[in-house]
Amino acid sequence: MQSLLKKTVALADKASLLFANIAAVVLLALVVLTCVDVIGRYFFNNPVVGAVELVRICMAGIIFFSFPLMFLRNDHIIVDLISLFRRGWLGWVFSIVMLVVIVYVAYRIGDRTFDYAVRAFEDEDVTEYLAIPRWPVVGFISFSIFAAAVMAALRLLSLISTPGQVPEENQSGEPS
């Protein structure tokens, strides 16, 4: 069982890296878009039409495509006010409780965004200026959120399979 879980986590890590690489490509596209818009606006008095909409879509892509890797590797921002809750058995139980909450919340948010994607598809909802259909963007966002929930669930299974052992980044107080 432990071997299967390790193989699954390794496969999930590769899948989440794919998501992170997509986020990096979207970030590159955002940089190019911003440069073209600034050059066009200030030197040619001709900005990119709909640049604000494209920036919004790119920002959503960067944020949500980063979620699966962040949830799998536990790369969340941590404020360690009470380090007692991060050591030993208490830290292990606390980590399990938090991961259960994270999986549930991610699933609920993914479900709500998927409902919005379906509604946007049915209503043929488009963006304000460029008339880009909203459903593919929101669909990818909901897919990323569901993938993040799956990654957090894998992390939860991995944590449950090692009773009493808190992952390394939780013991040192700094993410690895």
Residue with the two structure tokens 């965004």: 113
Q: Are 57 and 133 in contact (CB under 8 A)?
A: no
Query: Among 17-21, 34-38, 41-45, 164-168, where is mean pLDDT lowest?
Result: 164-168
Q: What is the pLDDT of residues 6-23, one digit of tens each?
A: 788 788 888 888 888 999
Whether residue 176 is predicted with pLDDT greater than 60 in this model: the reply is: no
Residue with the two structure tokens 């050059």: 39
Residues 6+ apart with CB under 8 A from 21: none
Mean pLDDT of 146-159: 89
pLDDT for 175 equals 41
pTM: 0.80
Query: Residue 29: pLDDT band by 50, 70, 90 thresholds?
Result: very high
The C-alpha atoms of residue 167 and residue 64 are separated, in whole angstroms, by: 25
Instruction: Identify the residue with better confidence: 32 or 93.
Output: 32
What are the contacts of 10-18 at 24+ separation with CB within 8 A? 12/72, 12/150, 12/151, 12/154, 13/72, 13/73, 15/68, 15/147, 16/68, 16/69, 16/71, 16/72, 16/73, 16/147, 16/151, 17/69
Instruction: Please report, for the chain, how many H helices and E strands are present, in that order.
Output: 5, 0
Query: Residue 30: pLDDT band by 50, 70, 90 thresholds?
Result: very high
The C-alpha atoms of residue 172 and residue 162 are separated, in whole angstroms, by: 18
Task: Give the SS3 label for residue 175.
Answer: coil
pLDDT for 11 equals 82
pLDDT for 100 equals 94
Q: What is the pLDDT of residues 90-133, one digit of tens each?
A: 778 888 888 899 999 999 999 999 999 999 999 999 988 899 99
- The length of the chain is 176
Mean pLDDT of 11-38: 91
Whether residue 4 is predicted with pLDDT greater than 70 in this model: the reply is: yes
The C-alpha atoms of residue 129 and residue 131 are separated, in whole angstroms, by: 6
Q: Where are the domains of the chain?
A: 2-172
